[in-house]
Amino acid sequence: MKPLKVIYAGTPEFAAIAMESLLCSEHQIILVMTQPDRPAGRGLKLQASQVKQKALLSDIPVIQPTSLRLDGKFPEEAAQAKKILENLDFDVLVVAAYGLILPVWLLELAHKRNKIACINIHASLLPRWRGAAPIHRAIWSGDLQTGTTIMKMEEGLDTGPIILVEPLNIQALDTTASLHDRLALQGGRLLIEVLDKIANQEDIKLTPQAEEGITYAEKIKKTEALIDWNQEAFLIDRQIRALNPAPGAFTYWQGEIFKVWLSEDISNHWEGYKTNNSRPGEIVEINEFGISVAALKGVIRMLEIQKAGAKKMPAQQFSKSNVIKIGDCLGE
C-alpha cells in the first residue's frame, strides 16, 4: 500500500480526536486547514482550535482562511488559500467539522486527484441529521441509535453519496459530550478504513442517500437552553443531556441562573407519587441520589448542577451547601 498524502480540514475537538487516528496511521497529513483563532476564556485571549494545536505539536503546516469564497467578504484570503492548495501535491482532502462551506473550486481541485478525493466524516446516519448539530439533535429527539457516515462530498449540505456507515447505540444517560467522544473515535477508525481502500486501489461503492427520512440538525441556539418545566419529564431530560457540554440547559432558582448538567427521568420509578398535586418545577424530593423536580407530567432527578458563579457539583452535594428545600419551585 502506498500511503496517501492528506489535507485535513477540521476545527473542534471532534475533528481533533478523529485526526489522532490519522496521525497514527501510515497516511501523511501534509497540510491542516482550520478556522482562525478565536477569543476564548475570561480574558478573551485568542485561542487556537483543537485541530491547530494538534497540528502544531506534530509540525504540520496550517492555514486558517476566514473564508474560501472568492466572491465573499474575504476574497484575498480565499485566493491565497486557493494558490496554496493548487500548488500542493495531495491525494485526498478529508473534512471533519471544519465549519466553512467548501466552494466548487475546491471540490473540483480535489476531484482532479481521483474520483473519491474529497471525503467527509459526519456524526449521524445520513440522511438523518444533516447539518451543524447532529449529535445534539439525535439525543434531543430521543433517537435510540446514531452513528458515523463517511461520504463523498458534493455541493449540497451533507448530500453526497455514502462510502461507509456504521451505527452506534445511544445510551440512556448519554450526553452530547459522552456520545461525541464515541462518535469521534468511530469516525477516525472508519476514516482509516476508507483511506486504506483508496490507497490499495480497491473498488469503493458509492451509495446515494435515501430520499426519505431526511432531517436537518440546525445549530443550537442559546434561546433553546431555558428549561420549560411545563413539559413531560422525558422531554426535559433529553434537553438537559443534549445541551451538555454547551451551552448547558438552565432554569432559575431564587432569581438566579441555575444550570442543570446531568439528569435522569425517574417517572417510572416514582412509586406512589402523583404530579397532579405539585407545580411544574417544584422540588419534590432531596436525597443521596440527587434533587427531584416535578414536570408537567413525570419527575426529573437532577444529578449535576451549577449555581451562577460557582463550580459544577453533584446535586446531592449542592443540597447540603445551599438552602434549597422541598417545595421550592424552579423557573421562578
- The CATH number of residue 12's host domain is 3.40.50.170
Q: Which three cell numbers stand for residue 261?
A: 448538567
pLDDT band at 1 (very low <50, low <70, confident <90, very high): confident
With CA atoms as reference, report the closest residue to 54 among 32, 28, 38.
32
The answer to whether the CB of 131 falls within 8 A of the CB of 157 is: yes
**Percent of all residues in the chain with a pLDDT value above 70, rounded to a whole number:** 98
pLDDT for the residue numbered 272:
47
With CA atoms as reference, report the closest residue to 6 among 31, 37, 41, 40.
31
Question: Is residue 133 included in any domain, yes or no?
Answer: yes
Question: Is residue 63 included in any domain, yes or no?
Answer: yes
| Rounded mean pLDDT, 265-275 | 68
Q: Which three cell numbers stand for residue 159?
A: 448530500
Structural domain span for residue 245: 222-321
Q: Choose one of 179, 195, 217: the last residue of a domain.
A: 217
Question: Is residue 227 included in any domain, yes or no?
Answer: yes
Q: Which of 8-22, 55-69, 182-196, 306-320 has the lowest mean pLDDT?
A: 306-320
Q: Which of 138-142, 166-170, 189-193, 257-261 has the lowest mean pLDDT?
A: 257-261
pLDDT for the residue numbered 151:
97
User: Is residue 153 located within the same domain as residue 122?
Assistant: yes
Question: Is residue 39 included in any domain, yes or no?
Answer: yes
Query: How does pLDDT run across 100-120, given as a tens digit for each residue?
Result: 989 999 999 998 887 888 999
pLDDT for the residue numbered 139:
98
**Percent of all residues in the chain with a pLDDT value above 90, rounded to a whole number:** 79
| Rounded mean pLDDT, 122-137 | 97
* pLDDT value at 277 more than 80: no
pLDDT band at 271 (very low <50, low <70, confident <90, very high): low
Question: Is residue 329 included in any domain, yes or no?
Answer: no
* pLDDT value at 155 more than 80: yes
User: Is residue 199 located within the same domain as residue 290?
Assistant: no
* pLDDT value at 276 more than 70: no
* pLDDT value at 268 more than 70: yes
Q: Which three cell numbers stand for residue 246?
A: 454547551
User: Is residue 191 located within the same domain as residue 275?
Assistant: no
User: Is residue 231 located within the same domain as residue 196?
Assistant: no
- Please state the domain count of the chain: 2
User: Is residue 166 located within the same domain as residue 308?
Assistant: no
CA 86-19-79 angle, 5° bins: 25
User: Is residue 188 located within the same domain as residue 232?
Assistant: no
pLDDT for the residue numbered 129:
98
The CATH number given to whatever domain includes residue 267 is: 3.10.25.10
Question: Is residue 326 included in any domain, yes or no?
Answer: no
The overall average pLDDT reported for the chain is 92
Please tell me the distance from the alpha carbon of residue 198 to that of residue 25, in angstroms, as a whole number.
Answer: 14
Q: Which three cell numbers stand for residue 53?
A: 494545536
User: Is residue 72 located within the same domain as residue 163?
Assistant: yes
Q: Which residues of 99-126 are buried (b: 16+ CB within 10 A; e: fewer)?
A: ebebbeebbebbbebeebbbbbbbbbbb
pLDDT for the residue numbered 142:
97
User: Is residue 184 located within the same domain as residue 78?
Assistant: yes
Q: Choose one of 217, 252, 276: the last residue of a domain.
A: 217
Q: Which of 30-44, 129-143, 238-252 has the lowest mean pLDDT?
A: 30-44
Q: Choose one of 217, 236, 254: the last residue of a domain.
A: 217
User: Is residue 238 located within the same domain as residue 131?
Assistant: no
Q: Which three cell numbers stand for residue 273?
A: 407519587
* pLDDT value at 177 more than 70: yes
pLDDT for the residue numbered 76:
94
User: Is residue 230 located within the same domain as residue 180?
Assistant: no
Please tell me the distance from the alpha carbon of residue 316 to that of residue 6, in angstroms, as a whole number.
Answer: 49
* pLDDT value at 273 more than 60: no
Question: Is residue 331 included in any domain, yes or no?
Answer: no
User: Is residue 169 located within the same domain as residue 264?
Assistant: no
Query: How does pLDDT run across 225-248, given as a tens digit for each residue?
Result: 999 999 999 999 999 999 999 999
Q: Which helix (H) or strand (E) holds 163?
A: strand 162-169
248: burial class by Cβ within 10 Å (0-12, 13-18, 19+)?
middle
